[in-house]
A and B are shown apart, each in its own frame.
Chain A
Amino acid sequence: MNKQRKAVALISGGLDSMLAARTIQEQGIHVEGINFFTGFCVEGHTHAIREKDKAKPKRNNSLWVAEQLGIKLHIVDVIEEYKNVLLNPKHGYGQHMNPCLDCKIFMVNKAKQWIAENDFDFIITGEVMGQRPMSQRKATMPIVAKESGADDLLLRPLCAKNLPATLPEREGWVDREKLHSITGRSRKPQITMAKEFGIDEYSQPAGGCCFLTDKYYSAKLVDLWKARDSREYELDDVMLLKVGRHIRPQAHYKMIIAREEGEGRFLHGYKKDYVSMTCVSHQGPLVLIDGTIAAEDLYLAASITARYGQGRDAEQVEVNIVYQDGAERTLHVKPMLEQDMPKAWFI
């Protein structure tokens, strides 16, 4: 009796990985999904935090895809290990702080470790040759296979016919003739294939769900590293970059200003770790100070805090300052005028 072969599919939550997994399922292979959480896959976080969006939170697309495919999904926390990928990418960054090629190599390598530990036979991905400028090119696809250590255990069902036969094809576990030869950036072949499979709902996030491909997010990350003179980061840093208005009036501190109630509640959870400011004479947002703020800087920061509250047009606003040890101080300030805030302060 033939052994039931098993494949693990890297499931991003997008259409391509969904189609790749379905293609292999159709050949009688047992497929399970794997999804890696780097800390930067923060697709639904803005929705989860903002008050107005809480009534319609975004689903986790990788879980949704797994359910549509009828497969198990293993979500793996790689936050700590991923730091080395982001900080020291052998193949460099893409347009922003996205180390896409190193990221793909890392994830395929992790999948290879997983199949060894779980007695699976091979790995599948939704990669399409020529689809992504960095990690999905003819020249880089062999690099992913080689440097991840997966070699010919890595099968890309959507473009397999454009690549040398892998072990699952050579061994007859899968029929190469039933695999695909998609190339390029057009989505038409995938949309046609989705229709053939009866898949009529899918997510197609541009650049995936990774915030490192986002220009503004990357700018905040680089600003953080520059200000700290260190590229070390923790998950909380990654999360806080997604929340609030970020203003750096001076090199040694940054203000994170809640834009609405949900963000204020989220920032409140970090209050004991940061110096914080709030208006007490008027309604106003919670503000966290990231960095080291000196006594002589307090008036400027408090006047900016006042500018974002209901007292922005008042002559004077009372601002309460709370330190990490619970000590408090109150300042009476004139709210800063919009025209007095240089654009360079806004990160």
Chain B
Amino acid sequence: MTREILNARRLLCPLPVIRTQDKVKQMQTGDQLEVICTDPGVMQDIPTWCRINGHTVLELLSGDHEYTVILEVGGA
């Protein structure tokens, strides 16, 4: 299992979702990805994207105008 960080700061939705989607394609089942964003919309859009694509949100963090989603890549 590896854990990677994706810097999606300054990007507005759906770009953080697109970058997440593209990054996850390169990862393996069970890997974790930490996506750091400044668009608060990611707090609902990335979890929705995860649910429909079979990935799991492990943690949602917000503070200091930054929003972080930590997800685990599913096997779908």
Interface residue ranges, A against B (CB under 8 Å): 35, 37, 41-42, 44-45, 47-49, 54, 57-60, 62-64, 66-67, 70-77, 239, 265, 269
Contacts and interface: CB of A to CB of B under 8 A. Distances in A.
Given A44-B41, A54-B40, A57-B40, A72 B52 contact: yes
B18 A60 contact: no
Contact of B18 (A58, A59, A67, A77): A77
Contacts of B15: 37, 77
A239 B13 CA distance: 11
A238 to B, nearest CB: 10
B13 A60 contact: yes
A154 to B, nearest CB: 24
A76 B25 CA distance: 13
B52 A75 contact: no
Most buried by B among A45, A60, A72: A60
Contact of B41 (A35, A48, A73, A76): A48
Nearest to B46: A63
A60 B12 contact: no
B10 A60 contact: no
B12 to A, nearest CB: 5
Contacts of A76: 18
Contacts of A57: 39-41, 43-44
Nearest to A41: B14
A286 to B, nearest CB: 15
A63 B18 contact: no
A185 to B, nearest CB: 28
B13 A64 contact: no
Most buried by A among B10, B13, B38, B65: B13
Contacts of A35: 14
Nearest to B65: A265
Nearest to A242: B12
A247 to B, nearest CB: 23
Contacts of A75: 14, 17-18, 21
B41 A60 contact: yes
B23 interface: no
B57 to A, nearest CB: 14
Given A75-B17, A77-B18, 5 more contacts: A48-B41, A57-B43, A59-B48, A63-B17, A64-B48
A59 B51 CA distance: 15
A42 B17 CA distance: 14
A62 B9 CA distance: 22
A60 B52 contact: no
Interface string B1-18: 000000001101111011
B45 interface: yes
27 contacts: A35-B14, A37-B14, A37-B15, A41-B14, A42-B12, A45-B13, A48-B12, A49-B12, A57-B39, A57-B43, A58-B41, A59-B45, A60-B13, A60-B17, A60-B48, A62-B14, A63-B49, A63-B52, A66-B48, A67-B51, A67-B52, A71-B52, A72-B52, A75-B17, A75-B18, A75-B21, A76-B18
B53 A60 contact: no
A45 B53 CA distance: 24
